[in-house]
Structure 1
Amino acid sequence: MPPSLRPPQGSAWLGRRLEELPTPALAVAEGTARRNAERMLQRCRALGVRLRPHVKTHKTLVRMFDRLVGVRPTEPGALELARAVAQSAPRRVALVGVYAHCGDTYQCAGVPEVQAVARATAAALGRFVDMLRQAGVPCPEASMGSTPSCSHPVPEMGALTELHPGNYLFYDLQQLQLGSCAPQDVALRVLTRVLGHYPRRNQLLVDCGWAALSLHGQQQGQGPAGCAAVEGHPELRLVGLTQEHGLLEPVSGALDFDRFPVGSMLALIPFHACATAAMHPVYYVHDEGRVVALWHPVRGW
């Protein structure tokens, strides 16, 4: 390709408008992400606990809800495990605390249910810490996470030493549905362009497929429509996803193709920001629609 026709590379995108970016592209609103971070820090300060941001899947020794990993705090094996860790090889392994992830909050229908799960989890964690201490097992830290529970914390969580949510920095469609955030709190979008019109099928073809979005959300029974919402266009829904392309069609009625010319850009709000972000090698961080930074995520585990 002649040099004059090559697209900008790397830092050359700084200062460009979002409309100039190659698509599909992951765009992060810097101001929104910053506000989300500050708000979570304020919640933790109000509770009197530390904030330890959850960057990736956190592996710990004792975990709540054995549908995931670990043991329930009410099982005899939990105390035995903690005692073994604390006493068997103290010079090599130290029990610094216990951790619970409120995974059940993702099955809740609204904030009251989320808070009920968080309250029960915090109480169970506290009882287990008391049991450890009564058994002579030091347990200085008690920690719990999940963005839904930490976005609407209950007073009982103040008895812990730290909280570590992860998704809250970006939020997403799933968190919107759970009541964790408001629409203006979602910092992440996948930008996509219209590639074609299909009047016979009443559909638009866009250049965002599952490789730029992920398939998370379709397990909610909505098919591809559960994977993302089209920002500013509630009349449109995602009805098809291949690796590199997506299909949009109206919820009802005929599609007005003149409103979506070929080459025009749309913004998708993904169902699960963590899964979507993992699909992209660079995040275009912007302030009011102008790129101010490029974030390159760490790959691997």
Structure 2
Amino acid sequence: MKSGFHIPSFLIDEIICRSNIHRMAQKALAHGLIFRPHFKTHQSVEVGEWFKDEGIRAITVSSLTMAAIFADAGWNDITIAFPMNIRETDGINHLAGKIRLNLLFDMPQQALVASKKIAHPAGYFIKADVGYHRSGVEPNDHETIQLILKATQGTSLTFKGFLTHSGNTYHANSRDEILGIHNDAIGLLHELKLQYQSLYPEILISIGDTPSCSIAKNFTGIDEIRPGNFAYFDLMQYHLGSCGFDEIAAAVICPVISVYPRRNQALIYGGAVHLSKESIISKNGDKIFGLVVPFISDKWENPQGDDYLVSLSQEHGIFTTESQWSKSLNTGDIVAVIPVHSCLAADLLKK
């Protein structure tokens, strides 16, 4: 790791990240699951090579732009796990002519447009909403499912199965609640697969949230997992119980600008444009935007106390100086911030 940080910088611990990748790859192997990791967290060609070192050859992304970047980097089996943007159909068709591409539909109109305008072979999943209510077709909405399937018959598009993201696990209050959400989701998906398997015997069920994929042991009826955040983890995952602190592989390194002993706070150069305004609630009921920890010899250390970021504006970050370590900080010192959501921090600070 390099030293001499002057501005907010996103730092990755390669050893920890590679360990996280290896552990998830081995878990997928042990459960007989296809491992198609989501690359939206790191968005890094270099980190992508670490996945290749584990034998990974198929990936997930969240946009056509991201798919094109990784296709240019040599990845030729990509799922875009975002409902198809019909305004990008020409670009999708172009990419489908270069790689094995899977799309995502949750409306018949998307399937109709794709069927007419995509000439190259491509797969597609139907997005199932099993409780998160962000996007997708409800599992009992067979009318919509049938309209999507009908629209693609006799075209270049092949139905691959049902895909979901149980993002509601990110709002759980315990590991048991995560497992409850996960088990409910796979139950609904398993029933859905059974209803369509006779007509489409090779269809897959694909799930993707990091909390479930990290702690669950039951993957009955699941064929593929697509977690992404697990490569870095973050403060949210640590609070959820998805990881230990020693499994967090990314931090934002920030200079201390000012200290305010009378109010037990300090200012860092590191604000919403570096960390986002994603927040979680502390055990005391306060909204927090990150955890400030020591940065020594180009390595972040374990937390010394509840030194939480409690306020963010564009460039400013205010944190509470609760520990003896944080009370000793001076202007010009360097600290590490464990972000609430590493995916957003990585995106904001990517080079």
Query: TM-score, normalised to structure 2's length?
Result: 0.68
Q: Is the 8 A contact 2:253 2:336 kept in 1?
A: yes
> In structure 1, how many angstroms separate the alpha carbons of the residues matched to 2:192 and 2:331?
59
User: Highest CA radius of gyration, 1 or 2?
Assistant: 1
Give 1:42 shift.
Answer: 0.8
Greater CA drift, 207-216 or 17-26: 17-26
Distance 1:180 1:235, change over 3 A: closer
In structure 1, what is the equivalent of residue 13 of structure 2?
29
Greater CA drift, 32-41 or 260-269: 260-269
Output aligned runs, 1:166-205, within 5 Å: 166-205=228-267
Output aligned runs, 1:1-301, within 5 Å: 18-56=2-40, 57=62, 58-59=81-82, 60-61=104-105, 62-65=127-130, 67-87=133-153, 90-134=154-198, 136-155=199-218, 157-217=219-279, 222-223=286-287, 226-231=288-293, 232-251=303-322, 257=327, 259-282=328-351
In structure 2, what is the equivalent of residue 297 of structure 1?
none
Deviations 1:72-99 (A, max 9, x none): 1112224413532442xx3232211110
> In structure 1, how many angstroms separate the alpha carbons of the residues matched to 2:204 and 2:289?
37
Q: One-letter code of the match for 2:246? A: Q
Q: Is the 8 A contact 2:10 2:350 kept in 1?
A: no
> Partner of 1:115: helix, strand, or coil?
helix
Aligned CA-pair RMSD: 2.3
Between the two structures, name the one with larger relative contact order (CA 8 Å, sep ≥ 6). 1
> In structure 1, how many angstroms separate the alpha carbons of the residues matched to 2:197 and 2:267?
60
Q: One-letter code of the match for 1:148? A: P
Q: How many residues align?
A: 258
Q: Is the 8 A contact 1:216 1:271 kept in 2?
A: yes
Give 1:200 shift.
Answer: 4.4
> In structure 1, how many angstroms separate the alpha carbons of the residues matched to 2:321 and 2:141?
52
Q: One-letter code of the match for 2:7? A: T
> In structure 1, how many angstroms separate the alpha carbons of the residues matched to 2:338 and 2:165?
25
Give 1:54 shift.
Answer: 1.0
Name stretches of at least 5 consecutive residues in structure 1 with no aligned partner.
1-16, 283-301
